[in-house]
Amino acid sequence: MQPDDVFAALMERDPASKCAMARALHAADSAPLAEAGGEPRRVEVPGRPERPDLVHPAKLAKRGLGKADGRAALIHAIAHIEFNAINLGLDAAYRFRGMPVDFYADWLRVAADESRHFEMLNARLVDYGHVYGDFDAHNGLWEMAVKTGHDVMIRMALVPRVLEARGLDVTPGMIDKLRQAKDDETVAILEIILEEEVPHVEIGTRWFRYCAEPRGLDPDTTFTQLLDEYMNGGPPGPYNFPARREAKFSEPELDWLAQRHSR
């Protein structure tokens, strides 16, 4: 396996093919990626289908979960996040050169996991009479990937530990609402995703700290500085502190988030 193999999966537009390619890459030997040189290509737009239409988050329709169409829209929104997460895992394995072999194995594992999550959600959408692409979506996850493509440390800080960690915060509430709506099938899917996203965020924590410490940077203060610099302090609370602890957030980081939420 070479970086071009990962790039091909990243640029694949068909979701089913992308998922299959991600799993095949995860099953392959990651060692050649750790030995590869060369400059990665900038990817402004990764491989994705023509639909969904991407709009500003403020333009996304708000739908209650009491009706089937509202639940389908929520499932679609989560499927879109998981599809983007496939691309984010592939991009991390393709873009950042000179990292240990475990870095590439970790991010290809994430891409494979996210492909399975996407497929579960897309199958559930079919139960509701929809498929991926039927609802509008936004491009915030990939926009942050482009902004952080120049520095592996910043990518590890802000994509897995902020954008993906947001799922740890909001998924329990979604599960509760779906349970109230008697959608036990979707609840079961989200419980699997929530459990598996914790180690994904932990991978981000581990590699962020791996990159920060040789630069002489304190990871705790660097993380909060990057939140202020790139994300206006990051998303608001409430935060799922138990899950974030499992994902190896430090107590100073959690204290900072708690104080920010209390302001």
Q: What is the mean pLDDT of residues 256-262?
A: 77
**C-alpha–C-alpha distance, residues 122 and 191, integer Å:** 16
Cβ atoms within 10 A of the Cβ of 100, count?
12
**pLDDT value at position 172?**
94
Residue 157 has pLDDT above 60, yes or no: yes
CB 6 within 8 A of CB 30: no
Say if residues 26 and 112 touch (Cβ distance below 8 Å).
Answer: yes
Could you tell me which residues are beta bridge partners of residue 54? 137
Q: What is the pLDDT of residue 32?
A: 94
26-41: average pLDDT: 92
**Which one, of 60, 239, 241, lies nearest residue 140 by Cα?**
60
Model confidence, pTM: 0.93
pLDDT band at residue 87 using 50, 70 and 90 as cut-offs: very high
Place of tokens 């994705």: 48
pLDDT > 60? residue 263: no
* pLDDT band for position 114 (cuts 50, 70, 90): very high
Mean pLDDT lowest among 8-17, 106-115, 133-142: 133-142
Give the number of other CB atoms < 10 A from CB of residue 213.
Answer: 13
Q: For 48-73, write each residue's pLDDT tens digit.
A: 999 998 888 877 777 777 788 889 99
Query: Which residues contact residue 215 at a Cβ distance below 8 angstroms, ignoring those fewer than 6 apart?
Result: 153
DSSP codes of every residue in 105-153: HHHHHHHHHHHHHHHHHHHHHHHTT--TTSS-B--HHHHHHHHTTT-HH
- 59-89: string of b/e by CB count within 10 Å (b at 16+)? eeeebebeeeebbbbbbbbbbbbbbbbbbbb
DSSP 169-187: HHHHHHHHHHHHTT-HHHH
Structural domains of the chain, ranges and CATH numbers in brackets? 3-31+48-262 (1.20.1260)
